[in-house]
Amino acid sequence: MSTRQVYLLGHPVRHSVSPAMHAAAFRELGIDARYDLRDVPLDDLGLAIARLREPNVLGANITVPHKQAAMPYLDEIAEAAAEIGAVNTICNRQGRLVGYNTDAPGFLAALAEAGFDPRGATVALLGAGGAARAVAHALAEADAAELFILNRTSDRAVSLAQALVARFGARAYWGLPATRQQLEEWVPRCALVVNCTTLGMHEPVSPLPSSALRPGMLVVDIIYNPPRTRLLAEAEAAGARTQNGLPMLVHQAAAAFALWTGQPAPVETMRAAAQAALAQGV
């Protein structure tokens, strides 16, 4: 068999640490495979996905903006990915393409690293975009007791909360506008706060007033670059525990690697490769 191939399909796909993580993992396990970036405009997505059926292709990652648009081109979608409404991983199973979402298990594995058990927890989720949908689904699946979803566009938060009620039953899921008043009211009563907005990625702003932070809570910012966002700096100053987005990034990649290869991923090798790539400014 010729060299196996995995692609990252997105538009644009610059600045990704995924090739470094997967190349290191293939090397460590002695798998003859490559992970390459493919910049694919929406008009070419169907053709790019059709090519994943070729025998030497193990599969692909799908990134912004194609996580929803890829779904109609697949033969099968795993239940959780269908519920989340997004795929980030495709496996080529003898010419049949199966879609998965590994952000959700990746997030739960990262929480476990932080020693946090979401069962019965009260959680504030900031954002209602693609990543927030995966995180919300993971938390509901893991039996979080209450979930306050706070988003700039409150309609999106409300519809995400309604989707969770429809799927998981009438547990306490709330969709709210991310106003200062709502954030100060609901966030301080939570054991876990997760930032799934892009706020803090491009400039040093926080999605939360620091007055909402409390000692002892765990604050997770799924942004991994920069590694210490303003939210995390303020959370530390308030006596909270913190985690950035690197553990989730590594674990979502590890879950995808295991799906493609059928082998457990070398997580620490992938983490070291991601850290090295980020340090080099990838």
Cβ atoms 244, 255 nearer than 8 A: no
Establish if 103 lies at the interface with ligand NAP (CB under 6 A). Answer: yes
Reduced to 3 states (helix: H, G, I; strand: E, B; else coil), residue 200 is: coil
Is residue 226 reached through a cis peptide bond, with omega within 30 degrees of 0 on the bond before it?
yes
Q: Which of residues 199-218 bind ligand NAP (CB under 6 A)?
A: 199, 201
Nearest in space to 184 (alpha carbons), one of 165, 207, 202: 207
Query: Which residue number, 10 or 266, has a Cβ lying nearer to ligand NAP?
Result: 10
> Which residue carries 């209450």 as its tokens?
146
Query: Which residue number, 105 or 130, has a Cβ lying nearer to ligand NAP?
Result: 130
Stretch that binds ligand NAP, among 164-172, 181-189, 243-251, 271-279 (CB under 6 A): 243-251
> Using CB atoms, what's the residue nearest to ligand NAP?
129
The least CB distance from residue 229 to ligand NAP, in Å, is 9
Output DSSP code: residue 197: S
Query: Which residue number, 130 or 175, has a Cβ lying nearer to ligand NAP?
Result: 130
67 classed as catalytic: yes
Nearest in space to 130 (alpha carbons), one of 79, 180, 62, 182: 62
Stretch that binds ligand NAP, among 44-52, 191-199, 229-237, 268-276 (CB under 6 A): 191-199
Number of helices and strands in the chain (H, E): 10, 12
The least CB distance from residue 191 to ligand NAP, in Å, is 20
d(CA 64, CA 62): 7
Reduced to 3 states (helix: H, G, I; strand: E, B; else coil), residue 63 is: coil
Binding characters for ligand NAP, 35-74, by CB under 6 A (x = yes): -----------------------------x----------
d(CA 66, CA 45): 8
Query: Which residue number, 51 or 152, has a Cβ lying nearer to ligand NAP?
Result: 152
Establish if 245 lies at the interface with ligand NAP (CB under 6 A). Answer: yes
Tokens describing residue 119: 């069962």
Out of 3, 153, 179, 211, the only residue in the binding site for ligand NAP (CB under 6 A) is: 153
Helix axis angle, 18-29 relative to 267-279, nearest 10°? 140
Sign of CA dihedral 273, 275, 276, 282: positive
Establish if 132 lies at the interface with ligand NAP (CB under 6 A). Answer: yes
Stretch that binds ligand NAP, among 16-24, 36-44, 68-76, 242-250 (CB under 6 A): 242-250
Catalytically annotated residue among 4, 22, 66, 67: 67
Tokens describing residue 55: 């025998």
Establish if 162 lies at the interface with ligand NAP (CB under 6 A). Answer: no
Nearest in space to 195 (alpha carbons), one of 272, 205, 269: 205
The least CB distance from residue 153 to ligand NAP, in Å, is 3
Out of 129, 177, 226, 227, the only residue in the binding site for ligand NAP (CB under 6 A) is: 129
Establish if 118 lies at the interface with ligand NAP (CB under 6 A). Answer: no
Out of 34, 38, 152, 241, the only residue in the binding site for ligand NAP (CB under 6 A) is: 152
d(CA 49, CA 62): 10
Which active-site residues does the annotation give? 67
